[in-house]
Amino acid sequence: MIRIFRVLVPASALTLLFSDLVLLFACYFGLWYYQSDGDLFLFSVSGWQPIALVEVLLVVGIYFRHLYSDLRVPSRIALLQQLCLVFGVTFIVEALISYWGLDWAMPRGVLVPGSALALAVVYINRLLFSFAIRNRIGARRVLFVGYSPTVVRLAKRLRDYPELGLMPIGYLDQDETSHPDANLPCLGSVAKLPSIVDEYHPDWIVAGTGERIEPQWVDDFLDLRFEGVHTERVASLYEATLGRVCMPEVSQQDLVFSERLQPDRFSMNLQPFYSIGLALAIVILTLPFIAILAIFVKVAGESRIGMNGAPFTMYCFRTTDESGQVTQIGRFLRRFALDALPQFWNVFRGEMSLVGPAPDRPEFASRLNEIVPFHPQRTVVKPGMTGWAQINYFGDSEGQDAMRRLEYDLYYVKNLSPSLDFSVMLRWVREVTRGFNAV
Query: What's the rounded Cα separation, in Å, for the pair 234 and 223?
Result: 19
Q: Do 425 and 282 share a domain, yes or no?
A: yes
* pLDDT value at 13 more than 50: yes
pLDDT of residue 425: 92
102: amino acid identity, one letter: L
* pLDDT value at 221 more than 80: no
Q: Identify whether 318 is part of a domain.
A: yes
pTM as predicted: 0.84
> What's 234's domain CATH number?
3.40.50.720
3-state helix, strand, coil split of the chain in percent (to 5) is 60, 10, 25
pLDDT of residue 200: 87
Q: Do 130 and 144 share a domain, yes or no?
A: no
DSSP category for residue 360: P
* CA torsion through residues 159, 160, 164, 165, sign: positive
Stated length of the chain:
439
Tell me the sheet residues that pair with 171: 144, 186
pLDDT of residue 345: 93
Q: Identify whether 331 is part of a domain.
A: yes
Q: Do 128 and 95 share a domain, yes or no?
A: yes
Report how far Cα 259 is from the mean position of its chain's Cα atoms: 24
DSSP category for residue 245: -
CB count within 10 Å of CB 375 equals 20
Tell which of 109, 134, 159 closes a domain.
134
List, as one string, the DSSP characters of 323-351: TSPBPHHHHHHHHTTGGGTTHHHHHHTTS
Q: Do 269 and 418 share a domain, yes or no?
A: yes
Query: pLDDT tens digit string along 131-189?
Result: 988 888 778 899 998 888 888 889 888 888 888 888 999 888 877 666 776 678 888 88
Q: Do 279 and 377 share a domain, yes or no?
A: yes
- Crossing angle of the two packed helices 48-64 and 418-433, in degrees rounded to 10: 80
Domain count, the chain: 3
85: amino acid identity, one letter: L
* pLDDT value at 397 more than 70: no
Q: Do 270 and 414 share a domain, yes or no?
A: yes
Is the separation of the CB atoms in 90 and 58 below 8 Å? yes
3-state class of 314 per DSSP?
strand
Report how far Cα 206 is from the mean position of its chain's Cα atoms: 23
Tell which of 192, 208, 242 closes a domain.
242
Query: pLDDT tens digit string along 73-112?
Result: 888 999 999 999 999 999 998 888 887 766 777 778 888 8
* pLDDT value at 406 more than 70: yes
305 phi and psi, to 5 degrees? -100, 125
Query: pLDDT tens digit string along 226-263?
Result: 777 788 888 888 888 888 888 887 776 666 655 677 88
Q: Do 174 and 123 share a domain, yes or no?
A: no
Sequence-distant (6+) residues with CB within 8 A of 360 are 304, 305, 368, 397
Q: Identify whether 255 is part of a domain.
A: no
* pLDDT value at 341 more than 50: yes
Q: Identify whether 115 is part of a domain.
A: yes
Query: pLDDT tens digit string along 280-334?
Result: 999 998 888 888 888 888 888 899 999 999 999 999 998 887 777 888 888 888 8
Query: What's the rounded Cα separation, in Å, for the pair 276 and 79?
Result: 39
Alpha-carbon separation of residue 35 from 25, 26, 42, 145 (angstroms): 15, 14, 11, 60
Query: pLDDT tens digit string along 54-71?
Result: 999 999 999 988 888 878
**Residue closest to 358 by CA, chosen among 370, 336, 345, 375:** 375
E strand map for 67-159: 140-145
Of residues 128 and 210, the one with the higher pLDDT is: 128
Q: Do 388 and 413 share a domain, yes or no?
A: yes
Of residues 47 and 68, the one with the higher pLDDT is: 68
Q: Do 153 and 118 share a domain, yes or no?
A: no
Q: Identify whether 196 is part of a domain.
A: yes
**Average pLDDT of every residue of the chain:** 83
Domain residue limits at 427? 265-433
Query: What's the rounded Cα separation, in Å, for the pair 429 and 66?
Result: 12
Q: Do 27 and 96 share a domain, yes or no?
A: yes
**Residue 211's pLDDT band (boundaries 50, 70, 90)?**
very low
Q: Do 152 and 122 share a domain, yes or no?
A: no
Q: Do 14 and 96 share a domain, yes or no?
A: yes
Question: What integer is the mean pLDDT of 17-35?
Answer: 86
Q: Identify whether 252 is part of a domain.
A: no
pLDDT of residue 109: 80
pLDDT of residue 410: 92
Alpha-carbon separation of residue 164 from 6, 8, 18, 150, 158 (angstroms): 17, 10, 17, 18, 7
Q: Identify whether 86 is part of a domain.
A: yes
Is the separation of the CB atoms in 196 and 166 below 8 Å? no
**Biggest alpha carbon–alpha carbon distance for the chain:** 75
Query: What's the rounded Cα separation, in Å, for the pair 275 and 206?
Result: 39
**Residue closest to 202 by CA, chosen among 175, 172, 178:** 172
**Residue closest to 3 by CA, chosen among 412, 392, 353, 420:** 420
Is the separation of the CB atoms in 416 and 364 below 8 Å? no
Is the separation of the CB atoms in 91 and 106 below 8 Å? no
DSSP category for residue 320: B
Tell which of 101, 134, 167 closes a domain.
134
Burial class (CB in 10 A: 0-12, 13-18, 19+), 345: middle
**Residue 46's pLDDT band (boundaries 50, 70, 90)?**
low
- Alpha-carbon dihedral 118, 124, 125, 129, rounded to 10 degrees: 160
Q: Identify whether 409 is part of a domain.
A: yes
CB count within 10 Å of CB 412 equals 27
CB count within 10 Å of CB 88 equals 11
Burial class (CB in 10 A: 0-12, 13-18, 19+), 16: buried
